[in-house]
Structure 1
Amino acid sequence: MPLDLSSDRIALSGLCTIEEAEPLLAALRDTADPVVDIAGLERAHTAILQVLMACRPVLSGAPRDPVAAACLAGLDREGHG
């Protein structure tokens, strides 16, 4: 599953399609200090990237997708505040 909400952080992995954008937004809104693990993210629909850029959660890891990496480069990283 590309969007995993079962742990203390939100994990994105594999191919995240537009269908995951709304649940991701809801999870980010419902979490006080969200951390999103993107280490397993291979490719993300632009809607996913837009949600992340708008909500600005702390990110953990780096995506494999160079476009996603470039879009998310300005967001805070875990351990780097």
Structure 2
Amino acid sequence: MTQQPDTEPWAASRDASWYSRPNVHAATVLHMAGSPGYGGTMSRCGRSVLDHTNPWRPTDAPARLRCRSNGCRQAWPTPAS
């Protein structure tokens, strides 16, 4: 997990700070960053606002934690063949 400049793609878990008891012990799903939206940066799949305090490089995100919804799935880097 490393800090990313605004020009590079990045991934993060959703911002759960508004839940009464958020699970903050582990990243459950990582989403690819999309466009700015109300309250923060939206995920590419459009399902959530992202937690920008703990960004990941897309290449460092484990496959098991990657969001599989259409927008995010298309944005994840593919392995070189």
State the TM-score bracket (shorter-chain normalisation): under 0.3
Larger Rg: 2
Determine which structure has the larger strand proportion and give its number.
1
TM-score (norm 1): 0.26
TM-score computed with the length of structure 2 as normaliser: 0.26
Which of 1 and 2 has higher RCO (CA within 8 Å, sep 6+)?
2
